[in-house]
Structure formats: C-alpha cells, structure tokens
A = this chain, B = another copy of it.
C-alpha cells in the first residue's frame, strides 16, 4: 500500500448505498502488514446465491481451489479475505490453511464449510498463518456492520494506492435493486485474470445458474479486458453474491436466463464490473497514463481482442506512452506480432482524433505537433482500423514507467 495515490485515481468515491443483509467487519490480524487492517469478513443472509470466475493459472492458489470446489453449490453465507499473503504455491500447508480458515469462520457463524468463500492476496510461496484468524474471528463476528464499503475495500489492498468501489441500480418490478462492488489490484494484472479480487453484491434474488451466466458473460468485456503488465496471478477471484433481500420490496426471483429482467441486470452489473476493472488499471503500478486501445475492422471480435491485447501488453508501446512519444510505428509492430490476420497496407491508426497512419504508411496530413499534443493528455485512446472485417474489441491498460520497475524491483523484501 503506497502513501502516494495514483494520479489517475477517481477524483471522488461514489456514495455506496447499503445492501440489506450484506455486512462487513475488518480487523488487523498481522498477517504481514503492520498498522493496518488486513482481514475482511463479509456476511450475507441465508439463501444468498453465489457465482464466481477464477484465474486460469495452472498454479492456482489454495483459496482459488477452495472456491472453485464450492461455487457450484450456489449458496454462500460468508466471505473471508486477507491481504499480505496469497496462500499460493504453499502445497499441503496451503490446503490445511484454507481448511482451518473455513473451520474458524463456519464455527463462529454456525454454518457449513461449503458456504464459506475465501480469498487471499499478497506474497506467493509463504505459508499463510491461518491460526491468526482465530484471534480476530470474534471481533469480526461481533463487529459485523461496523465497516463500510470503503473500509472493506481498504482491508483487501496490497500495492493498491486507493480503495476501489462502484455501485449501480436497476429497476425490477417497479422497485430498485442495487449492485455494489469492490475490487483490489494494481500489478500482476492481465486478463484471465490477475492479482485481482472483486466482490460484488446485489439484493436481487437471482438463481445461481443465472447469476453465473451473468457474471461469466460480463467478465470478457471488463475484468478480462484490462491489463497492467500481462502477468496473470495465481489468485484472481471474482465472486458475485445475490442476497434476494429485495424480495421484501416486491421483487420476485429471477429464475431463468430468458427472464426479460436479465438484460436490465446485465447492463447494471456490466457497468459496475467495467468501472471496477478500469479503476484497477488506473491504479496500475507506476501508472501515469490511462490508455484505451480500440481495434476495429478485424476479421472477428476474438481476433480484434488479441490484437488489442498485443498492443496493450507491448513494453515498447507502453514506454512510448510513458514518454509521451507518438510512436505509432510501435503500434504497427504490435499489430504485426499478434499473429492475427492483418494487411499492412489497409491499416489505419489514430492517437485520439489524430489519424497518424493510413493505407500502410504515415498519414499524408500527419502532424507531429497534433499527435504529440494527444500524447500529453492523461487519458489516451489508441485506435486501429484493420480494414478487413467487422470484428472489434476495446481493452484498457496503462503506461510502463520507471516507477513500475521500482515498485516491482523490491516488493517482496
């Protein structure tokens, strides 16, 4: 956790309305950090549905394995998250630590292990001292409701420079339902998924399979469309909880995907997820510029996304952005290396509204001054038209600065 907030941070935090039945408490268990909270216990009412998406890493962490094994059950009562230690690559000790964590929480709350969800973020390879949760579990249980959304988001931060929260609402059956979320993440951020944790809560009643379809469907355009450094974490976890507490206000359960209310929920959920994903990029380690990469005219959306990520992950593109250098040749390079269909002589590239290249060469009206002016902005759009088809994709990233190197050159010690 840095004392200097990213210059790209949102200027203010949204007012986060309460979601009935969702309560938080935080504590300082002393896992790694001193003088700050490092554990979050969130409780949700009986009957809460849950869905999740997880890292595709072949070396996933013990808590990821725990959640993956249980999310199919579709029911949740609590979420325990710690920062400072990822409980990843901890072998048998890691498995024992998640079992002990769940045991401590389930006994305190009087529910089953299968309803406890766990997430850990921090250093990889160090055994997690889960017994420390026993010291704070009573505080966490008795303090439920004492922590607000920002407090909760702060307790799960690692190298983040600010807590990340977002909220949206939707009208269902004449009543308002809420979707609130929090996230953490700043480095080891790439699609599928990154050292990124996000926990989202809604008071709508949504059946687990519908909830899972909604979450999975909105991940591609949000959490899986951002990259800080192309490095994928062992620990990425997004959990979506639906308490159903809006039923008291006359909102009937959403049981099937063909329910017309699904699209209303999808739009609001997508807004929250995209907002949180972009906040993670805006807190990218060492980031000074926020970059939107739009690729259009590709042979397919999937092809466009591969090309967009090739641009967004290119160290040379990212250092050029850091240097405010309108170096569109590196964008050409990144298009070329993606391995996707591209015809050099149909390619056009824009920085902001300034077209810098067209038909495979520098724009005849190219103005270094105009292009450089775009690069001096804090938020930059790089747009590429491949001229081949209708495929398109947008991804978000940040620049690669000396500060990124400094932050990551001595993080563990």
Contact = CB atoms under 8 A, between A and B. Distances in A.
Given A60-B344, A89-B332, A231-B316, A409 B322 contact: yes
A329 B125 contact: yes
Interface stretch (A34-42, A244-252, A353-361): A353-361
Nearest to A57: B336
Nearest to A91: B361
A126 interface: yes
Interface stretch (A108-116, A141-149, A203-211, A398-406): A398-406
Main secondary structure of the interface of A (DSSP, over half): loop
Given A229-B316, A408-B320, A59 B89 contact: no
A314 interface: yes
B188 A333 contact: yes
B315 A231 contact: yes
A270 B56 CA distance: 37
Interface string A88-126: 111111100000000000000000000000000001111
Contact of A408 (B88, B126, B315, B338): B315
A379 interface: no
Contact of A88 (B89, B332, B341): B332
Contact of A59 (B188, B192, B344): B344
Contacts of A6: none
Nearest to A229: B315
B59 A347 contact: yes
Interface residues of A, number: 74
Given A58-B340, A91-B361, A339-B56, A332 B408 contact: no
A124 B360 CA distance: 11
A337 B56 CA distance: 7
A397 interface: no
Nearest to A386: B58
B408 A336 contact: no
Interface string A56-75: 11111000000000000000
Interface of A: 55-60, 86, 88-94, 123-127, 187-188, 190, 192, 229-234, 313-316, 319-320, 322-323, 325, 327-330, 332-345, 347, 357, 359-362, 400-402, 404-406, 408-413
6 closest Cβ pairs, A-B complex? A124-B329, A323-B409, A91-B361, A59-B336, A57-B336, A319-B408
